[in-house]
Amino acid sequence: MFKFSKKLQALPPYLFLEIDQAKRKAHAEGRDIIDLGIGDPDQPTPKFIIDCLSQAALDPANHRYALDQGMPVLRGAIGDWYKRRFKVNLNPETEVLPLIGSKEGIAHFPLAFLNPGDLSLVPDPGYPPYKGGTILAGGKPYLMPLTAQNSFLPDLKKIPLSARKGAKIIFINYPNNPTGACASDDFYTELIEFAVKNKLIIISDLAYSELAYDGYQPRSLLEFPGAREVAIEFHSLSKTYNMTGWRIGWACGKAQLVAALAKVKSNIDSGIFSAIQLAGVAALRGGQDYLKSMCALYQQRRDILVDGLNDLGWNTLKPKAAFYLWIKIPPKLEAISFAARLLKDANIVVTPGVGFGQHGQGYIRLALTVSQARIKEALERIKKIS
């Protein structure tokens, strides 16, 4: 009866919803499902963060509308964290903006700068809101292939002049979802030069910076000379502190870009529940030893799963960061049908790579968000159907 808008019709199906529906159906049938699909941490939020929320929720002062710009104490905690972690000095008043999870900020940002027909340079495969936010803003995604041959980094030299001239935004995400790839210092330096030359805004999604292994420490784009003039960086407490459902993150970087996003948000939402903001302060200022134990846990899971898959002949590499395995499936197989077979015959949920873009065809993504025992059980199930 009613027709969707052209923008809504242009959006691809959101794969994670489809995966969740398939998973729910399998659970309803009484099947024992091992979920390696959506990257949602299985460990609880640390108790000291929950305790802070509980106390803050009892205070009536926190029951009112929050400030759109975020509480000063949270903006200050974010600035202090960036200084400790990356040696980057941010002005909490003008260069930090708390978000209702980094996803909403990433999706809303194109509304601030794209006019109808403008391009954004989007990694493919990539996190779906990069493309979705562009489309909803009336822009057009120009896809940058991420391939194994180029270490899953966009080849900036291959972007044609017409795309460079028509683009206003370039998205990057390292450590990367879905591939687990990490960016080199040389790449960041080249990216900044590319953005300056082509008058592009860099959107850096740094959600996985704190999940790293084997002594590796991911860097912030804002550490590099010139980045502060062209970039806005997004971060989140979701994966770092097992707070996916809490919906709290932030954007930081060039004041003009932060202010533009703040103006968009002031017309859309009324800020983050103040008690959750205070819990975010507790997370950022609390003991960080918790992170070491979390990384050690994911590293153990990574090693068990990668070694087990390699024993089965899957030729899988160990990522240095994030909690995903990006696995090339056997030649001549299609990602969605291969994932469907794993669900049907082994009761294992994985994410087809094509859900992250056309260049994800031929891959599946596995998340390290189940226990070691369940990972071992998944390996046994895969062995039986191989």
Give the per-residue pLDDT at 336. Answer: 85
Residue 12: per-residue pLDDT: 80
pLDDT in tens, 314-353: 989 999 999 999 999 887 778 888 898 999 999 999 999 9
Quickly list H helices, the chain: 6-10, 15-28, 47-57, 72-86, 102-108, 110-113, 128-136, 161-166, 185-198, 255-266, 274-285, 289-311, 335-346, 372-385
Contact present, 336 and 360 (Cβ < 8 Å): no
Looking at the DSSP assignment, which residues form a beta bridge with residue 328?
A: 363
* Cross-strand partners of 349: 35
Query: At residue 80, what is the residue type?
Result: D
> For residue 13, what pLDDT is reported?
75
What is the mean pLDDT of the segment spanning 150-167?
A: 97
**What domains can be seen in the chain, in order of their start residue?**
6-44+289-385 (3.90.1150.10), 47-285 (3.40.640.10)
Residue 110: what pLDDT? 98
Given strand 231-236, what is the order of strands in its sheet? 96-99, 249-253, 231-236, 201-205, 167-173, 119-124, 140-145
Lowest mean pLDDT among 5-19, 232-246, 285-299: 5-19
Residue in this structure with the two tokens 């270490």, named with its chain if needed: 151
For 33-43, give one letter per residue: b (16+ CB within 10 A) or e: bbbbbbbebee
Q: Are 320 and 298 in contact (CB under 8 A)?
A: no
Distances in whole angstroms, Cα of residue 116 to Cα of each of 113, 146, 167, 270, 274: 10, 26, 11, 27, 36
- Rounded to whole angstroms, the Cα distance separating 280 from 264 reads 23
Identify whether the C-beta of residue 203 lies closer than 8 Å to the C-beta of residue 172. yes
Mean pLDDT score, 29-52: 94
Coil, strand or helix at 53: helix
What mean pLDDT comes out for the span 344-367? 94
DSSP for 68-113 reads TT--HHHHHHHHHHHHHHH-----TTTSEEEESSHHHHHHHTHHHH
pLDDT at position 19 over 90: no
pLDDT value of position 172: 98
Percent of all residues in the chain with a pLDDT value above 70, rounded to a whole number: 99
Q: What is the mean pLDDT of residues 106-127?
A: 98
Within 13 Å, how many C-alpha atoms sit on residue 35's CB side?
Answer: 16
- Measured in Å, how far apart are the chain's first and last C-alpha atoms? 47
pLDDT of 335 reads 84
DSSP 8-class letter at 212: B
Mean pLDDT of the chain: 95
Is the peptide bond between 125 and the residue preceding it cis, with omega within 30 degrees of 0?
A: yes
Measured distance CA(156)–CA(167) in Å, rounded: 13
Q: What pLDDT shows up at residue 30?
A: 87
Which residues make beta-bridge pairs with 19? none
- Alpha carbons 166 and 186: distance in angstroms, whole number: 25
Q: Is the pLDDT of residue 244 over 90?
A: yes
